[in-house]
Amino acid sequence: MTKTIGFIGLGVMGQGMVRNLLKAGFSVKGYNRTKEKGLPLEKDGAVIVDTIQEAVQDVNVVISIVGYPQDVEQIYLAEDGILASAKPGTIVIDMTTSSPALAIRIAEQADAKGLRALDAPVTGGDLGAKNGTLAILAGGDEDAFNTVRPLFEAMGKSIARFGGPGQGQSAKLANQIAIAGSMIGTAEMLLFVTKSGIDPTQFVETIKSGSAGSWSLENLIPRVIAENYSPGFFVKHFIKDMNLALERAEEMGIATPGLALVKDLYDELAASGHAESGTQALYLLLKEKTPSD
């Protein structure tokens, strides 16, 4: 494996991931549809290029993290996309939260072109990307996974392979179901605490080491208390993930009424103008639904 990585997608998550790859000694050729968003990475040592073809040229590993399954399909399967442009032997890793079926399709087409594909979505939000503490949930060829593990270790703390193509995506959707429950619980908790006249910061500090402790409690509720609704993870992307999970659950015949409820609330939140806010903005919707004293 060479030390130069092609990286597609330089948004909130991608920038933190690229910086940690650079810190670990890898070189990065980065591409973003809106080039200007990636330019700040140049001061960290990344080379920002104009096309996907340039990003995948003369590298053995390509990483992508973009917005939606349709974006994944476009960058991988288009005539000028990753699979058409990468040299045989390249390992391509999609770290977007996407469709298990699409991950399988990409892996099959990659194999036909002499490439190896991994689906390796991540969880941990912008802080995890920045701090190199992401959880990475992978599916695909075991040998390819072991080959690129040093890259994963530069970006993440908890790393696991769950099986063949698509299994990383299935694992991530399961993770999103758990997050949906956590988000509604912590948002309702904060509203209950504040309406009770309890100091929310003191309360969170007291319970975080107990059975109610969670990542959302420790990382997102302090943002809400500070009235900071900037995105570590966009509402619009969480809705996308919940839709994917609901679709997959329906295919498997699984009842997920809690997930459906939370997704409906986030749809309402997005419609009220918060699609670009962070997922912690759910609190605002619940607050709006609460009668004033």
Domain contains 47: yes
62 and 82 Cβ atoms separated by less than 8 Å: yes
Q: Which of 115, 132, 165 is the last residue of a domain?
A: 165
Domain contains 242: yes
Q: Which of 143, 165, 187 is the last residue of a domain?
A: 165
Vertex 263, ends 261 and 264: CA angle to 5°? 65
User: In this predicted structure, what is the pLDDT of residue 1?
Assistant: 62
CA gyration radius, the chain: 20
Largest Cα span, the chain: 66
User: In this predicted structure, what is the pLDDT of residue 83?
Assistant: 98
> For residues 61 and 235, what is the distance between their CA atoms, to the nearest angstrom?
30
Count of structural domains within the chain? 2
Domain contains 293: no
Give CA torsion, residues 210, 213, 218, 220, to 10 deg: -150
pLDDT in tens, 194-235: 999 999 999 999 999 999 999 999 999 999 999 999 998 899
List the chain residues with pLDDT less than 70. Answer: 1-2, 293
Q: Say yes or no: 221 and 137 in one domain.
A: no
Three-state secondary structure call for residue 165: coil
**CATH classification of the domain holding 155:** 3.40.50.720
214 and 182 Cβ atoms separated by less than 8 Å: yes
Burial class of residue 255, CB neighbours in 10 A (0-12, 13-18, 19+): exposed
User: In this predicted structure, what is the pLDDT of residue 2?
Assistant: 67
> For residues 260 and 252, what is the distance between their CA atoms, to the nearest angstrom?
15
pLDDT in tens, 65-106: 999 999 999 999 999 999 999 999 999 999 999 999 999 999
> For residues 197 and 291, what is the distance between their CA atoms, to the nearest angstrom?
16
Q: Say yes or no: 218 and 271 in one domain.
A: yes
Q: Which of 165, 185, 202 is the last residue of a domain?
A: 165
Q: Say yes or no: 21 and 46 in one domain.
A: yes
24 and 30 Cβ atoms separated by less than 8 Å: no
Domain span at residue 202 reads: 170-288
Active site residues: 172
